[in-house]
């Protein structure tokens, strides 16, 4: 049988747990927003990676074409000016290639960071689920204790009523 002080303590703890649950729910909502933003960032990074890969394939094809053209131009003196233009274009394409490669490397690093953040978020969600489960268990214990208190109060009132009837 729980004393009034114990019951008050349980009620106080329950109110505190309800506040914590509200805070945990707010934090969970915030984490869900962050997760949505991280997923969008990951989607954008994936799109960027796909675009870069396509551009790298195009660049590779262009370099292949450039190589073929350069072979044809080596023996022809009258095409020397055209060959210089092709070489300059190759240099520009190579610069673009390295720029795209840097972007790809950066995107891969961002994806790794996002994956790490997703792992951290998943761990946080697990902790929140565990805390919510514990709060639910404590709420259930409080409900049972409250019902026991009401039953004991009813029995006590019943005994007092019987004693009053016997003394009267």
84-143 per-position pLDDT tens digit: 888 899 899 999 999 989 998 998 899 899 889 989 988 989 999 999 999 999 999 999
- pTM confidence score: 0.36
Listed in sequence order, the residues at least 6 apart from 31 whose beta carbon sits closer than 8 Å to its beta carbon are 121, 124, 125, 128
Question: How is 36-99 classified by DSSP, letter by letter?
Answer: HHHHHHHHHHHHHHHHHHHHHHHHHHHHHHHHHHHHHHHT-GGGHHHHHHHHHHHHHHHHHHHH
Distance between CA atoms of residues 98 and 115, nearest Å:
25
């Amino acid at each position: 049988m729980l004393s009034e002080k114990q019951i008050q303590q349980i009620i106080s703890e329950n109110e505190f747990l309800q506040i914590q649950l509200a805070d945990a729910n707010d934090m969970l909502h915030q984490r869900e927003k962050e997760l949505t933003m991280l997923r969008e960032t990951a989607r954008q990074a994936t799109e960027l990676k796909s675009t870069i890969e396509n551009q790298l394939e195009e660049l590779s094809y262009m370099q292949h074409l450039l190589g073929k053209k350069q072979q044809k131009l080596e023996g022809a003196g009258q095409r020397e000016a055209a060959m210089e233009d092709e070489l300059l274009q190759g240099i520009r394409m190579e610069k673009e290639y390295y720029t795209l490669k840097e972007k790809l490397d950066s995107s891969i690093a961002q994806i790794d960071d996002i994956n790490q953040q997703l792992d951290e978020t998943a761990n946080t969600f697990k902790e929140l689920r565990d805390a919510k489960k514990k709060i639910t268990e404590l709420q259930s214990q409080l409900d049972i204790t409250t019902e026991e208190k009401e039953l004991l109060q009813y029995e006590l009132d019943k005994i007092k009523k019987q004693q009053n009837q016997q003394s009267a």
